[in-house]
Amino acid sequence: MRLGIIGLPNSGKTTLFNALTGGDYETSAVSSGQFEVNTSVVEVPDERLHVLEKMYTAKKRVHATITYSDFGGLDKGIGEGGLEGQFRNELQQVDGFVHVVRAFASDVVPHPYGDIDPQRDLDTLDGEFLLLDLLAVEKRLERIESEMRLKGKRADQNLVGEKPLMEKLKAQLDKEEPLRNLDFDNRERTMMRGFGFMTLKPVLIVINLGDERKPNDDDIKYSYKKAKHIGLQAALEAELSQFDPEDAEMFMEEYGIEELSASRVIALSYDLTAVQSFLTAGEKEVRAWTIPQGATAYEAAGAIHGDIQKGFIRAEVTPYDILAELGSEKEVKAAGKMRLESKDYVVQEGDVIVFRHSG
C-alpha cells in the first residue's frame, strides 16, 4: 500500500513525512517550484504483535507496512495544462492521499498566499485535482465520440461501453464535486482502474497546528465528505521521531503528551484504503498480513504464498482477543474456541489463522 503526502508549499508536508518515517529530509521556507518525490516504508504500529511475540517466544516480529511518498511542487495552477510524465504517473499510482493543511501562522515560514485559511488551502489543491480529472474525462469522451463517428457500427464496443460512465464522471466533476463522493458498481470500478483519477482516491486530512496549540474538536471543521481527519503538531512530532525511544518517552511525559499523533496518522492511513490485518503466530515469527476488507480465507492464504492457497484444506481461526485472554493456543483449543473454516470464510480484522494445506 502506498500513500502520497500532498499539500501546498510550506504546509508542513515534508515535516509530517519526517515525523511518520523518522527521516531527516530538509524543509524550506521558500518553495522551489520543482516536482520532487521522497519515499519511505513505515511499519504499522500493532501492539498485538508484541503480545504474540512473548506468548510464542517468537524469534521475529513482522509488522504490516505502508509506503509514504512526499510530493513536492504541488500548487495552484498545476491542473490548468494537465500534469504529464513521470510525476503524473507517480500521483496516479498511489492508493490514497494524506493531505496536509496548514493552520498556523509564522514569520519565519510565511504562508505563500499571505494569510492562514485551512479550508481555502484544502479546496485549492482539491480543485486542481478536480480539473486534472475533468481534462482526463473530456479527453476520453472525445476519443469515444471520434471512434463512434469514424467507425460507426465497427467501433470498439469496449470503448463505446465506457461512454455512460464517462458522462457520469463529467457531470460530477462539472459540479466541482470529487469522484470519491459517487457510488460505483463493480463493473464501473473495473472500467476506471487504468485511469488513476485523483479525486477518486481516498483522503486523510492532516491539520498541521504548528507549535502554538494541541489538537481540539474544532479542527475537524476543515474537512469534506468521505474524508477522515486529524490535527497534530508536525514539527514537534518530527523532532520526537529523531529521539531514542527512552528520551522520547521522557520528553512526552514532561510535556503531557500521552500518544504521538503520528502513530494515529499511520493507523488511520492503514484504514483509509479499506484494508485490514490478519495475524499468524509461531516460534519462527509473528506477522501481520495485509488483505482487503471482505477477503476470504482462500485469498488470505494467497497473501502468504501461492502454494498455500493452491493446496488450501482449511483455516484454523482464533480471534486475537480470545487468544490474548486465554493466554495460549493450547488453552484456546481446550476451551473449544478455535474454529475450523472453509476457503469461503470472510476473514475478520485481527483473526489469528493457521492454514492447513497439502503439498
Check residue 252 and give its pLDDT.
Answer: 80
Domain ranges of the chain: 294-357
pLDDT for 27 beyond 50: yes
pLDDT grade for 30, boundaries at 50, 70 and 90: very low
pLDDT grade for 217, boundaries at 50, 70 and 90: very low
Domain 294-357: CATH superfamily is Beta-grasp domain (3.10.20.30)
What would the pLDDT profile of 36-71 be if each residue is shown by its tens digit?
888 999 999 899 999 999 999 999 999 999 999 999
What would the pLDDT profile of 111-140 be if each residue is shown by its tens digit?
989 998 888 999 899 999 999 999 999 999
Check residue 292 and give its pLDDT.
Answer: 94
DSSP tag of 45: P
Check residue 29 and give its pLDDT.
Answer: 46
Higher per-residue confidence, 252 vs 14 = 14
Check residue 190 and give its pLDDT.
Answer: 93
- Average pLDDT of the chain is 88
User: Per-residue pLDDT averaged across 343-352, rounded?
Assistant: 97
Distances (CA, A) of 140 to 77, 94, 133: 22, 21, 11
Check residue 211 and give its pLDDT.
Answer: 72
Check residue 212 and give its pLDDT.
Answer: 62
- Give the cell for residue 181: 463522493
pLDDT for 182 beyond 90: yes
Check residue 311 and give its pLDDT.
Answer: 97
Phi-psi region of 137 (alpha: psi -120 to 50; beta: other; left: phi over 0): alpha
Burial of 255 (0-12, 13-18, 19+ CB in 10 A): exposed
Q: Which of 354, 259, 353 is nearest to 47 (CA)?
A: 259
* Euclidean distance between the first and the last CA atom of the chain, given in angstroms as a whole number: 30
Check residue 215 and give its pLDDT.
Answer: 53
pLDDT for 328 beyond 60: yes
Of 29-43, 169-183, 233-247, the one with minimum mean pLDDT is 29-43
- Give the cell for residue 6: 500532498
Check residue 318 and give its pLDDT.
Answer: 98
How many other β-carbons are positioned within 10 Å of the β-carbon of residue 232?
A: 23
Check residue 145 and give its pLDDT.
Answer: 92
Distances (CA, A) of 16 to 11, 22, 148, 242: 9, 10, 48, 13
The percent of residues above 70 in pLDDT, for the chain, comes to 92
What would the pLDDT profile of 199-215 be if each residue is shown by its tens digit?
999 999 999 987 765 55
Long-range CB contacts (within 8 A, 24+) of 176-180? 176/127, 176/130, 177/130, 178/126, 178/129, 178/130, 178/224, 179/133, 180/226, 180/227
pLDDT for 31 beyond 60: no
Check residue 26 and give its pLDDT.
Answer: 65
- The residue type of 67 is T
